[in-house]
Amino acid sequence: MFVVPVELASVIQSACTEAIAKRERARLVRMVEEAGIATKAGPWLATVEAETLEVLHRLGEATAADLTKEVEGLRAQIPFGSGRSWQGTVGVSTRMLFLLSAEGRIIRGRPKGTLVSSLYRWVPMDRWVAGGLPWIPKEQAQAELVRRYLGRYGPATRNDIQWWTGWTVAETKRALGAIGAVEVDLGDGATGWVLAGDNEPGELDAADGATAPWIAFLPALDATVMGWQERDWYLAPHRPRLFDTNGNAGPSIWLDGRAVGGWAQRRSGEIRYQLLEDVGREAAAQIESRADALGAWLGQLRFLPRFRTPVEQELTA
């Protein structure tokens, strides 16, 4: 889940999420029928979602547990992974709330507890955003999204864009053409895309501190780390150490646009880190200072990433 401005949320909703919502609705219908909860899952789900939205509008905001107490259909359980070591059940409430949020009808509100709490309140979209998310034509939204993506992550390959958005080849080509994106040689035989004008040589302003090492401690699943499918140019050989086996990025340390290490928070609150290559004395000293500052900023807040990477697990052992 990424936090974005309201105007960008509308773009993402039309460009990507509506297609996801259609697949998720079909999937939930199939799951309900296969679980024997209802022989005609479509009408059954329509009733459950109507009841869920009615309760949510009446309460103003509610956790999944609050809604489950009010709506009987949300209490139904769907089995998964039969015969596997990871078999179990998932409540209809989990799948239904995910679907309604993908359709832009509800939204995650404030957490119940600290900002790292996994228990949060759901809110009707039109109560969080006056009038709900504005509708944008799909092709217009896709062009705007790829423009913003290249503005932040360019140059990027067509594979990067397709992977990040979930679009087809045709949709990706159309969006690139709509914004007049420019092809560039990435120097390794691959072709990338940038916004028009971004392929011109730029100048670094030493007075702005551009010559000093640029350092960042990024959290797990940060949008920058996850921004490309083809990651060798910034990960070098560090992928197995900084990503889990499912492709989820852990907390990482960046130096001048490259991932050079990982970090973690111990139970004591101490920020520990591990550099995976020689970064030089000046950068190493600044990284140590940044780790101390991060620990002070977090204060009493404690958290554990849901996706554990080798580096993060070693540092918290």
* Averaged pLDDT, 181-189: 89
- pTM, 2 dp: 0.85
Task: Kindly tell me the sign of the dihedral angle through the C-alpha atoms of 100, 102, 108, 114.
Answer: positive
Beta strands in 63-210 (DSSP E): 77-80, 88-91, 106-111, 120-124, 182-185, 191-194
Give pLDDT, residue 211. 67
Residue 151 has pLDDT above 90, yes or no: yes
Give pLDDT, residue 207. 46
Q: Which of 57-71, 115-129, 154-168 has the lowest mean pLDDT?
A: 115-129
Which of residues 312 and 232 earns the better pLDDT score? 312
Residue 205 has pLDDT above 90, yes or no: no
* Averaged pLDDT, 3-29: 94
Nearest Cα residue to 276 out of 262, 255, 293, 294: 262
Cα separation, 25 vs 3, in Å, equals 24
40 to each of 58, 74, 140, how far by Cα in Å?
28, 16, 37
Give pLDDT, residue 201. 67
Write down all domains in the chain, each with its CATH number in brackets. Answer: 6-128 (1.10.10), 141-194 (1.10.10.10), 206-316 (no CATH)
